[in-house]
Amino acid sequence: MTDQTRPGWALVSSAFTLLIGFPVLALSQSATSPDREQILRDLDTLIKMRQELSSQMQEFDKRIQALEEQLNVDSDRAQPVRAESVPPPAKPASESDTDQPSNFWGRYEPGKGFTLARTDQGELSWSVFSYARYLNQLALEDTYTDSFGRTSKIDKRNDIQFQKVTMNFKGWLFDPKFRYLWYIWTSNTSQGDPAQVVVAGNLGYQFNDAFNLYAGIGALPSTRSTNYTFPNWLKNDHRTIADEFFRGSYTTGIWANGEPIPGLKYRVMLGNNLSQLGVNAAQLDEYLNTLSGALWWMPTTGEYGPGEGLGDYEIHDEVATLFGIHYTYSREDAQGQPDTDGFENTQLRLSDGTLIFSEDPFLTGGNVRKVDYQMAAINGGFKYRGWSLEAEGYLRYLNDFQTIGTIPVDSLTDYGFQVQGSTMLIPKKLQGYAEFSKIYGDYGDPWDASFGLNWFPFSRKEFRLNAQGLYLKDSPVGYSSVPFAVGGNGWVFSLDAIVAF
């Protein structure tokens, strides 16, 4: 008999003994008149049996909780801007193992959030990502000088913000394969900036495991962080500076994804531009010339935790591995760029932080109007017993510049990498992590390093406290929604309280 079956058999055996014992005791008492000592012995036996049953029930509760947590691990967590993350609908009551009615309100389901309604005509779930942040940038240097000798003042922050709220309404309609995601997305630190509040979503149809089709606003799968791993990151809601420098962002388009063979997944997207948030349709050119794709493989276990994210909170008993490749092409137009501090900002920059589409970026009197962007990324990682190690390399090539006036380059090549590692210091409670990233470019070689802790006070991933120290060296990226600033040199400290369900 296995360890898994012993508690269940012991409970059945004890219950059977108890059921048989009561009639026997009753008959024995009716047949004779037992003395006081016999009654006490019988009472003591029943008390011990009840204690044994209580202990076994506690063991069952632990096993049930462990299975529920594993179910949460195996299901895709609901992601902002991700219709395909919605798990398949539950079976109707007639097919279910529970007595839950087919029409109901208000049940929490890991990976989906709160299921507000479920009927034979559709399903509606609600989930939230939100956090409060204390940010301290006072240790940064006051000014920064770029590679052309231009000096700018660093606008350092020291504030408390209820930083972001994302509410997702998702499910299926009329046919379980027809999916929808509608969301409200706001960053309160960006009050007054373009796209400070986004109300959008996407629609999709899930044909089979190998092919699903969607249309709406989605993230270009340009790097691992934009391939729907969010919010399953070690850091909270920001990337390394290398990832931020090279990646694409969110745009409107169509995309397909699937798992043609177990453990091998893909996603490919045709979009309007690299970043449409804060850009209206009139600013876009007449071409659909942004294409991004990703292919990733999980050879050892066929999975990599919720959303294939970073860190081994789930504590894999077997070594889980992931390898991925990404490629993105876009013809970018100066008119179709988001504002400098635009929400989820992605802009093309030199490695010293100079905006390529800014006024006279090279100090030669020439302005860039259009450019071809090509970027490739390759990544890999493993998770085992609470430990994780992740790495990603980047290569970006800019060419075919269309200019007014002259610039000193015909093309630009930048490359870089990031490494992130973590361990569960206390299982289900405390996680430590460290990261390092670096960019190599013709106009500077910036880098960053950070050290942080994630504390899960309820022993659940849905709520955590994050404390982090981040060191910046000539950061080429930054905007109000992230802790780094363009040109930042020095330490930045942050403390976040995060809800994600």
Q: What is the per-residue pLDDT across 72-94, written as a single tens digit (0 to 9) for each?
A: 544 433 333 333 443 444 444 33
State the average pLDDT for the chain. Answer: 85
Q: Is there a contact between 328 and 87 (Cβ–Cβ < 8 Å)?
A: no
**CA terminus-to-terminus distance, the chain:** 39
Rounded average pLDDT over 477-496: 95
Stretch among 223-232, 275-284, 421-430 having the lowest mean pLDDT: 275-284
Question: Per-residue pLDDT tens for 14-46?
Answer: 433 443 344 333 434 443 445 777 777 777 777
* pLDDT of 340 above 90: no
pLDDT band at 68 (very low <50, low <70, confident <90, very high): low
397 closest CA partner among 347, 441, 358, 448: 441
If pLDDT is split at 50, 70 and 90, which confidence band does 65 have? low
What is the model's pTM? 0.78
Buried b (16+ CB within 10 A) or exposed e, 341-363: bbbbbbbbbbbbbbbbbeeebbe
Which pLDDT score, from 0 to 100, does residue 71 have?
Answer: 59
Residues 32, 203: Cα–Cα separation, whole Å: 76
The predicted pLDDT at position 90 comes to 41
Contacts of 438 (CB under 8 A, 6+ apart): 242, 416, 417, 445, 446, 447
In our burial notation (b when 16+ CB lie closer than 10 A, e otherwise), range 147-161 reads beeeeeebebbeeeb
What percentage of the chain reaches a pLDDT higher than 70? Answer: 80
Q: What does the pLDDT read at residue 91?
A: 41
Rounded to the nearest 10 degrees, how much is the dihedral formed by the CA atoms of 233, 496, 131, 247?
Answer: -40
24-28, 106-110, 267-271, 336-340: range with lowest mean pLDDT: 24-28
Q: Which of 186-195, 264-273, 451-460 has the lowest mean pLDDT?
A: 186-195
Q: Which two tokens stand for residue 499?
A: 């809800």
Q: Count other C-beta atoms under 10 Å from residue 31's C-beta.
A: 8
**What integer pLDDT is reported at residue 42 of this predicted model?**
78
More confident residue, 337 or 429: 429
What's the rounded Cα separation, in Å, for the pair 258 and 267? 7
Q: What pLDDT, on the 0 to 100 scale, is given for residue 8?
A: 41
- Do 366 and 405 meet the contact criterion of CB atoms below 8 Å apart? yes
Give the type of residue at 352. Answer: D
pLDDT, mean of residues 192-206 = 84
Confidence band of 410 (pLDDT split at 50, 70, 90): very high
Predicted local confidence at residue 203, as pLDDT = 98
Q: What is the DSSP string of 125-148?
A: EEEEEEEEEEEE-TTS-SEEE-TT
pLDDT at 54: 67
Read off the pLDDT of each residue in 273-299 and give the average, rounded to a whole number: 88
CA atoms 403, 342, 417, 291: torsion sign:
negative
DSSP-assigned states of every residue in 211-260: EEEEEEEEE--SSGGGSS-TT--SSSS---HHHHHH---EEEEEEEEEEE
pLDDT at 104 over 70: no
Residue in this structure with the two tokens 């109707």, named with its chain if needed: 92
Rounded mean pLDDT, 303-316: 96
Whole-angstrom Cα distance, residue 171 to residue 80? 13
Distance CA 313, CA 77 (A): 14
Write down the residue that tokens 């990976």 correspond to: 111
pLDDT surpassing 80 at residue 406: yes
Compute the distance between CA of residue 499 and CA of residue 501 in angstroms, rounded to an integer.
Answer: 7
The distance between the two most distant Cα atoms of the chain, rounded to a whole number of Å, is 114
pLDDT mean over 164-189: 93
Q: What contacts 482, CB < 8 A, 6 or more positions away?
A: 237, 238, 239, 244
> Are the C-beta atoms of residues 80 and 166 closer than 8 Å to each other?
yes
Give me the pLDDT at residue 79, please: 39
Lowest mean pLDDT among 29-33, 50-54, 445-449: 29-33
Quote the crossing angle between the two packed helices 6-31 and 36-74, to the nearest 10°.
Answer: 160
The answer to whether 29 and 46 are in contact (CB under 8 A) is no
Whether the bond between 231 and the residue before it is cis, its omega within 30 degrees of 0, is yes
Identify the residue whose tokens are 């900002």.
345
User: Taking the CB of residue 232, how many other CB atoms lie within 10 A of it?
Assistant: 20
pLDDT value at 207 more than 80: yes
Give the pLDDT band (50/70/90) at residue 346.
Answer: low
